[in-house]
């Protein structure tokens, strides 16, 4: 199996499982945006809590996952690295969780949910259990066990969805039928968002239980010298990760703080609209995150072979082509995708979707480019790049949210990830040159944007919706034909795609002359 084929296969497994678990509310969006299940203000509160959780995840895991891949160069070293990192993680998790519990009321006030400090209590334990499972999941990725990884993620998804629906729909029904039963007495409908967090907490507990074999595989052996090296390597990643969360989720919190909405409830509704519409960038967002999960161990493995730069360049090309198709699949059929959000109140924010899709496309390209500073141990460069993006995010949101609301958040995300992508490319080509076909890839992206503009202009004619969809399908297939014309020979080397183009199967070395198959 070729390296790229292996990467594609593992990305598929991670894509259908891992990211669905991390962004589980994507799967619940049609349900949770139903006004009979959760009011707009409650959905806004939930979005704010889930915007804060990733910040704390960064602190709790402090870059140990990437450091684990970086220092585990052999089986013997992997045992030492995993044991030292896990012992460090256990101690720090106990400490950080205690701090969160002590300051739960001030944190609840800061996030605008001061009447519900219990939300912060549950959030603290969710973060703690997720942090403890982080290295165990990394171990599965290191051992190239995407199927087990996927099975655990899917099981956790089923548990979360089942419990959420049980708490928000089954329990009220049972309470109405028999108020004197255990559920009738215990259940409190006004707890709302709290039950979503409780379902997530139970999911996190079960997930750690499923990972018990990997988690408890550490030895009671702490290598202080190795730990210092790990922390030195990971420290810039903490800064980069924290700044990255500012770019990724902090705009919901800033929208709540700086919105010009007349009341606090109205501000939460604005957060709800933006958060719900953000979910419509799900195709690219999940693909980017899935790719990141699979690519990190793959890139480090490929670096041990011959001419890894050529592999990185090909991966970039296939990635950009894939997300271009996803961009068109969403924006050309947005009138269909919008029904993913069941409450029409949220549809007023659909204008942010194309901007957010492009922004997340830039983020995926940045993840491809970031290999240069990870391989060269210049992780501080990644921190600086992400800090630049964070400053752009903060500046644009601070200045423009009072005037343009959630549209300012969307454009801030666009310029943030765009600046990170360009900066990483220019800097990386000087430090670790990779022969990216960047002119061609930029052209593909611009063609996609042009097709979106053409489709939007066609929509101004206010023709029948099926005519609009037919025109969108035509544009989609024109782009597919164009890509096939330009990249047909290259795409034919990929598994499954080659059958579509009628080409011969890929040779044993994956068509990459002079390269080694990654371990």
The stretch 241-265 carries a mean pLDDT of 84
Q: Which residues of 230-253 are buried (b: 16+ CB within 10 A; e: fewer)?
A: bbebbbbbbbbbbbbbbbbbbbbb
Residue 513 has pLDDT above 50, yes or no: no
**In the predicted structure, residue 493 carries a pLDDT above the cut 90:** no
Q: Which residues of 191-210 are buried (b: 16+ CB within 10 A; e: fewer)?
A: bbbbbbbbbbbbbbbbbbeb
pLDDT, average across residues 478-507: 65
CB atoms under 10 Å from CB of 307, counted, come to 15
Please tell me the predicted confidence (pLDDT) of residue 7. Answer: 55
Q: Which of 5-19, 102-116, 191-205 has the lowest mean pLDDT?
A: 5-19
- Among 78-82, 123-127, 162-166, 277-281, the least confident range: 277-281
Predicted confidence (pLDDT) at residue 425 exceeds the cutoff of 90: yes
Residue 301: per-residue pLDDT: 62
pLDDT of residue 314: 83
Q: What is the mean pLDDT of the segment spanning 158-182? A: 90
More confidently predicted of 516 and 500: 500
Greater confidence (479 vs 12) lies with 479
- Asked if pLDDT for residue 103 goes beyond 80, the answer is yes
3-state secondary structure of 187: coil
pLDDT at 13: 61
Residue appearing with tokens 């202009």: 457
The C-alpha atoms of residue 505 and residue 503 are separated, in whole angstroms, by 7
Tell me the average pLDDT across 271-295: 77
Helical H segments across 303-378, by residue range: 308-331, 334-337, 353-369, 371-375
- Check residue 107 and give its pLDDT: 92
pLDDT in the model for residue 327: 93
Give the pLDDT score at 236.
77
Find the mean pLDDT for residues 353-363: 93
- In degrees, rounded to 5, the angle at the alpha carbon of residue 399 between the alpha carbons of residues 397 and 400 is 65
pLDDT in tens, 364-415: 899 888 888 877 777 778 888 888 998 999 999 999 999 999 999 999 999 9
Q: In this predicted structure, which of 60-64, 289-293, 449-453 has the lowest mean pLDDT?
A: 289-293
Confidence of residue 303 (pLDDT cuts 50, 70, 90): low
Query: With bands split at pLDDT 50, 70 and 90, how would you rate the model's confidence at 66?
Result: confident
What is the model's pLDDT at position 279?
Answer: 84
- Predicted confidence (pLDDT) per residue in 11-22, tens digit: 556 555 655 555
pTM for the complete prediction? 0.76
Proportion of the chain above pLDDT 90, given as a percent: 41
- How would residue 5 be classed by pLDDT, with cut points 50, 70 and 90? low
Please give the structure tokens belonging to residue 226. Answer: 């190795």
Q: What is the pLDDT of residue 17?
A: 61
Choose from 113-117, 199-203, 303-307 the range with maximum mean pLDDT. Answer: 199-203
Confidence of residue 351 (pLDDT cuts 50, 70, 90): very high
Question: Which own/partner pairs from 303-306 qualify as long-range (CB within 8 Å, at least 24 positions apart)?
Answer: 303/375, 304/516, 304/518, 304/519, 305/3, 305/515, 305/516, 305/517, 305/518, 306/514, 306/515, 306/516
Task: Give the pLDDT band (50/70/90) at residue 297.
Answer: low
Residue owning tokens 């902090």: 250
- Under 8 Å CB-to-CB from 486, ≥6 apart: which residues? 440
Rounded to an integer, what distance in angstroms lies between the CA atom of residue 33 and that of residue 54? Answer: 22
* 99 or 495, which is more confident: 99
Q: Who's near 291: CB < 8 A, 6+ residues apart?
A: 11, 15, 319, 364, 367
Return d(Cα 96, Cα 456) in angstroms, integer: 49
Range list of H helices, 178-281? 182-186, 193-210, 212-215, 224-248, 250-258, 264-278
Across 48-76, average pLDDT: 86
Confidence at residue 503, expressed as pLDDT on a 0 to 100 scale: 43
Confidence of residue 486 (pLDDT cuts 50, 70, 90): confident
Can you give the pLDDT at residue 350? 93
What pLDDT, on a 0 to 100 scale, did the predictor assign at position 501?
Answer: 43
Separation between Cα atoms, residue 381 and residue 366, nearest integer Å? 13
Say how many C-beta atoms besides its own lie within 10 A of residue 213's C-beta: 10
**Backbone Cα Rg of the chain:** 23
Asked whether the predicted pLDDT for residue 201 surpasses 80, the reply is yes
195-199, 300-304, 364-368: which has the minimum mean pLDDT?
A: 300-304
Three-state helix/strand/coil letters over 59-125? HHHCCHHHHHHHHCCCHHHHHHHHHHHHHHHHHHHHHHHHHHHHCHHHHHHHCCCCCCHHHHHHHHH
With a cut of 60, say whether residue 495 has pLDDT above it.
Answer: no
Average pLDDT (302-330) is 82
Q: Are 434 and 309 in contact (CB under 8 A)?
A: yes
Token couple for 482:
């164009």
Query: pLDDT value at position 9?
Result: 56
Among candidate residues 164, 441, 181, 493, the one with its CA nearest the CA of residue 324: 441
Q: Report pLDDT for 500.
A: 45
**Token pair for 499:** 């059958």
Tell whether the model's pLDDT for residue 266 goes beyond 80.
Answer: yes
């Amino acid at each position: 199996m070729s390296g790229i084929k292996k990467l594609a296969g593992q990305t598929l497994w991670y894509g259908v499982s891992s990211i669905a678990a991390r962004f589980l509310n994507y799967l619940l969006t049609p349900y949770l945006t139903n006004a009979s299940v959760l009011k707009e203000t409650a959905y806004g509160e939930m979005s704010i809590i889930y915007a804060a959780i990733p910040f704390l995840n960064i602190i709790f895991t402090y870059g140990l996952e990437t450091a684990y891949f970086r220092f585990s160069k052999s089986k013997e070293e992997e045992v030492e690295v995993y044991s030292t990192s896990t012992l460090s993680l256990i101690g720090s998790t106990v400490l950080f969780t205690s701090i969160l519990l002590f300051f739960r009321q001030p944190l609840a006030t800061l996030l605008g949910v001061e009447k519900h400090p219990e939300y912060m209590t549950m959030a603290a334990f969710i973060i703690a259990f997720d942090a403890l499972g982080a290295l165990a999941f990394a171990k599965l990725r290191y051992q190239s066990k995407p199927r087990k990884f996927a099975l655990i993620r899917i099981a956790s998804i089923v548990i979360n969805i089942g419990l959420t629906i049980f708490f928000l729909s089954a329990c009220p029904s049972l309470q109405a039928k028999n108020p004197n039963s255990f559920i009738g007495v215990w259940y409190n409908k006004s707890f709302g968002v709290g039950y979503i967090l409780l379902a997530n907490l139970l999911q996190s507990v079960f997930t750690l239980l499923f990972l018990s074999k990997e988690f408890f595989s550490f030895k009671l052996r702490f290598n202080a010298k190795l730990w210092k090296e790990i922390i030195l390597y990971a420290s810039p990643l903490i800064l980069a990760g924290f700044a990255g969360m500012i770019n990724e989720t902090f705009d919901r919190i800033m929208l709540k703080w700086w919105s010009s909405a007349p009341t606090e409830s109205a501000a939460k509704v604005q957060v709800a609209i933006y958060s719900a519409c953000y979910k419509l960038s799900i195709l690219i967002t999940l693909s980017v995150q899935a790719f990141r999960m699979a690519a990190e161990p793959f890139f480090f493995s490929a670096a041990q072979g011959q001419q890894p730069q050529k592999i990185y360049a090909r991966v970039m090309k296939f990635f950009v082509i894939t997300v271009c198709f996803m961009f068109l699949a969403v924006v050309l059929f947005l009138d269909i995708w919008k029904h993913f959000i069941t409450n029409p109140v949220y549809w007023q924010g659909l204008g942010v979707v194309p901007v957010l899709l492009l922004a997340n496309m830039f983020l995926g390209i940045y993840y491809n480019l970031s290999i240069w500073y990870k391989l060269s141990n210049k992780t501080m460069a990644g921190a600086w790049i992400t800090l630049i993006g964070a400053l752009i995010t903060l500046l644009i949101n601070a200045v423009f949210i009072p005037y343009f609301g959630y549209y300012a958040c969307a454009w801030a995300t666009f310029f943030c990830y765009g600046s990170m992508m360009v900066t990483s490319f220019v800097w990386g080509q000087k430090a670790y040159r990779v022969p990216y076909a960047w002119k061609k890839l930029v052209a593909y992206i611009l063609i996609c944007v042009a097709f979106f503009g053409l489709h939007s202009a066609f929509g101004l004619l206010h023709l029948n919706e099926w005519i609009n969809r037919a025109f969108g399908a035509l544009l989609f297939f024109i782009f597919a034909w164009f890509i096939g014309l330009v990249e047909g020979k290259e795409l034919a080397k990929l598994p499954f795609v080659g059958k579509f183009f009628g080409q011969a199967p890929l040779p044993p070395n994956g068509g990459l002359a002079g390269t080694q198959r990654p371990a």
